[in-house]
Structure 1
Amino acid sequence: MRGSIVGIEDGLINAKHDSWHGILLELIDNLYASFIVGPLVVAYWRGTWNLMADYIYPSDYPTSLMISLVLGLVGHFMAHIFQNSLRRYLNADRHRLLFYFGSRLYTEIYGTICVNSWRGGWEMINLYTTHDVLYVVLITLGCVLLLALLKGLRNVTGSPFVVVNDSRREYFDVPTYFKISGSKEPALYVLDCLFSVLVIGSLVVFVWRGLWVLLDLKLFPEDRGLSAWSSVFIGYGVTGVTFSLQPLMRWACDRLDGIWRVVVADLFLFFSFIGTINVWRGVWALLDHYFLPDNRLMSDWITHSVSLLLLILLNCSNSVLVRGVYIDAEEPAGQCVVFPVYYVRLFFQKERNKKQRRLLEALGRVEYNNVTSVLLDKKPLKAEQNHQINRNREAVPLTIVDNPKTNGEHNTHENLP
């Protein structure tokens, strides 16, 4: 889920991890991602998933799934193809209001597309395959191995380990596996999009579905409420351990190169995925079990609409999108195991950048006044006394560069969906 995008507009975060201030901000971001963004994203997906079942041929289940799958695949492909056009016509620098409303409409439409693609593929696997434990384990492990060989295992990552801020510059970006340019090689770009959606995307769905089904089969299957609470505790327990291990894993990957760095990063990411899948399954099942169980349609509409609205107001609605393909350990050194959950740190970074710009502007005005004063107060040269000169000549100001770049910890693909 857009695992390498941090959604930072004014430079990447360069926090000092050994300072108490940096550690505190990182902890707040981790808690925010785990207990606010994560549950809201799950609630949105749960409500949207169930609404698709309610309104897309509810009387004909196979047809409903086929329509969802086609809508999802075609929608993903269109999002890849038209991302440059969307970026050009919904430009925040030229039409701020048009960008804001158009981009949020894009999130709602593309979010529905993402849910449909997963619902169609997931439920068709359930419909036409067995739930035998050995079969599910073998298929899931096979898909995990294929993703690892393709260096695409990081694409199983999702909330609460990803927070995608609604960045103006990266809002519509959908990276592909081979990173081919659509303007230079359109035919190859189409093939790249198809591979990204049909191969990488399908493998990710198989992995998610496999581990979810295993939990359904083995984690208190006779008691749905207990099973849901167990997933929540397991999920948040693994999530807490994963976030705590980040400094150690960053240190290890700093000292590894080549295939070993990829292997260590993949093992760590898969461990985080165990926490992710349990959080999603637990929150989803708790909503099914406790939130308006006697009025399922109302429950679905509330979780869909309220969750999306809150995420829009929090400026991280793009976290609901499952889009783009990212390569394992493509960031340098230990940055490949740092989860993009920047929110509070992003706020402080923007405030720091504003102070820097104001300081540079103030220094620029002082320098400008000094230069002007020197030019106006200097005595005229002897040659100037013999000629009529313009007494109101302009002083040449000093050019001030007011766009400092902050060296950050992440290399973005981009964007991040």
Structure 2
Amino acid sequence: MGESCCRDILRKLVYKFFDLFVILFIITPACVFTWRGTWILMDSYLLSSTPKYSYWISYTAGISYCICCHFFQDVLNRIRIKLRKYQIVNVFLTRLYYYAAAIFGINVWRGAWGLLDIYLGKGIEKAVISSLVGFAVLIPLRGINNLSFPPSFLSFDWQDNQFDLFHTRFERKEGDASFVDDLKHIGDVLFSYLLLILADITIWRSLWECIDALLDPNDPVMTGIVSASYGYLMFLFLFVLNPFVQRAAVKLSRFWLLRLLFLQFYAFIKFTAINSMWRGVWYILDTHVFPHNEHYRGIVAHVVGVSVLIIMGTMRSVGEVVFSIDGVDEFEPVSYLSHLRKICSNGQYSLVSTKDRHEQEACQIAAQDSEVDDNNAINNNGVNA
């Protein structure tokens, strides 16, 4: 009995070790490679002679794409359900959609980041002031967790509603019979994409600028290694600390404001680790992959990053827009292998339950068509009345 228990504990530890290894050293660097490669290619090909206009085009095109996809993603999900029996077509279209979402999402950040550089300027004082403005937006709205990127946040390509990438802070939906509901939905979208995302970018840029100022900017090799080391070590420390944080949050449940501030502080520390990790990998990439040829570096980083993410089934982690709520949406440590095992054994791509899944999807289509007919009937009755 004792030996069996020890074996189970050892197996879980080994499993968790490989899970962390895959997330930290394969998926997360692939995300950074995708971001950096796309960023370099945009700098090279999108009006490189006039950076200000290039940044404005990146930002407006990226925001417009995200908002348009948000309004059409329900329609895309209905089309996907009808085409689900064509597995190859379904996989190709969803991965192409994730790739486009990643490109336009990165362009939002590139455009806003560059415009902040132009209009605010660089320097630790300006970075601190702009970060305070960003926190003044996120803290009351309980959005500190929105600063998390991989490895703290992962989204898997095999999720059910595969075209649900662009969410909003209040998750309002289009009303079928109320003009007021439609206005609230539009306001939620504009508020989320024009204010909250900009606050996230401002805080990320501010911390990045502060680290640039504190570490030696003339030695990119050393600053990249130090930044990555701190980020990885701090994230591992927070990973070990997470169960104790969750227990403390439960004990503070009667004091909601104190609990909220405690969880927001924990989310902020986690954000500093992720920011430092990304910055370190970013600089290491710049100094070790075609250091004297930025164009080749951009192509290699983009191709390698995208290829790894598609193979690992985490391409949507780069493009998905999620607005979590501090104190409500508290995530457990991200796990990759358990999701992979589930999808390989009895997940949605399992051949064992293909017939059952098609029957369920047919029922879903029929239910949605019936709901549309009912809404149309209600609207017609209202018009006739």
Q: Same fold (TM over 0.5)?
A: yes
Instruction: Structure 1: give runs of 5+ residues left out of the alignment.
Output: 1-17, 358-402, 404-417
Tell me the amino acid that sits aligned with residue 182 of structure 1.
Answer: E
Aligned to 2:40: 50
Q: 1:282 aligns with which of 265, 280, 283?
A: 280
Q: 1:226 aligns with which of 222, 225, 228?
A: 222
Is 1:345 the equivalent of 2:338?
yes
Structure showing greater radius of gyration is 1
- Which of the pair is proportionally richer in helix? 2
Aligned to 2:135: 144
Aligned to 2:196: 200
Q: 1:31 aligns with which of 6, 21, 31?
A: 21
Is 1:244 the equivalent of 2:240?
yes
Instruction: Structure 2: give runs of 5+ residues left out of the alignment.
Output: 1-7, 351-359, 361-385
Q: Report the Cα distance in structure 2 between the residues aligned to 1:236 and 1:168, rounded to whole angstroms.
A: 28
CA contact 2:143–2:324 (8 Å) conserved in 1: yes
Compute the displacement of 1:97 (Å). 2.1
CA contact 1:152–1:327 (8 Å) conserved in 2: yes
Tell me the amino acid that sits aligned with residue 77 of structure 1.
Answer: I
Is 1:129 the equivalent of 2:127?
no
TM-score when scaled to structure 1? 0.76
Aligned to 1:415: none
The root-mean-square deviation of aligned C-alpha atoms, in Å, is: 2.3
Is 1:96 the equivalent of 2:92?
no
Q: Report the Cα distance in structure 2 between the residues aligned to 1:282 and 1:111, rounded to whole angstroms.
A: 21
CA contact 2:235–2:274 (8 Å) conserved in 1: yes
Cα deviation digits, residues 6-39 of structure 1 (max 9, x gap): xxxxxxxxxxxx9554454334322221111110
Q: Report the Cα distance in structure 2 between the residues aligned to 1:170 and 1:30, rounded to whole angstroms.
A: 26
- 1:39-188 aligned at under 5 Å gives the runs 39-91=29-81, 93-173=84-164, 174-184=166-176, 185-188=181-184
Compute the displacement of 1:117 (Å). 0.5
Tell me the amino acid that sits aligned with residue 266 of structure 2.
Answer: F
Q: Report the Cα distance in structure 2 between the residues aligned to 1:27 and 1:265, rounded to whole angstroms.
A: 26
CA contact 2:153–2:317 (8 Å) conserved in 1: yes
Number of matched residues? Answer: 336
Q: 2:289 aligns with which of 283, 288, 291?
A: 291
CA contact 1:228–1:283 (8 Å) conserved in 2: yes
Q: Report the Cα distance in structure 1 between the residues aligned to 2:10 and 2:168, rounded to whole angstroms.
A: 38
Q: Describe the SS at the equivalent of 2:252.
A: coil
Q: Report the Cα distance in structure 1 between the residues aligned to 2:341 and 2:44, rounded to whole angstroms.
A: 43
Compute the displacement of 1:299 (Å). 1.4
CA contact 2:134–2:199 (8 Å) conserved in 1: yes
Q: Describe the SS at the equivalent of 1:90.
A: helix
CA contact 1:265–1:329 (8 Å) conserved in 2: yes
Tell me the amino acid that sits aligned with residue 164 of structure 1.
Answer: S
Identity of aligned residues (%): 27
Q: Report the Cα distance in structure 2 between the residues aligned to 1:241 and 1:141, rounded to whole angstroms.
A: 26
CA, structure 1 residues 303+180, in 2 after alignment: closer, same or farther (shift >3 Å)? same
CA contact 2:149–2:274 (8 Å) conserved in 1: yes
Q: Report the Cα distance in structure 1 between the residues aligned to 2:52 and 2:343, rounded to whole angstroms.
A: 49
Aligned to 1:381: none
TM-score when scaled to structure 2? 0.82
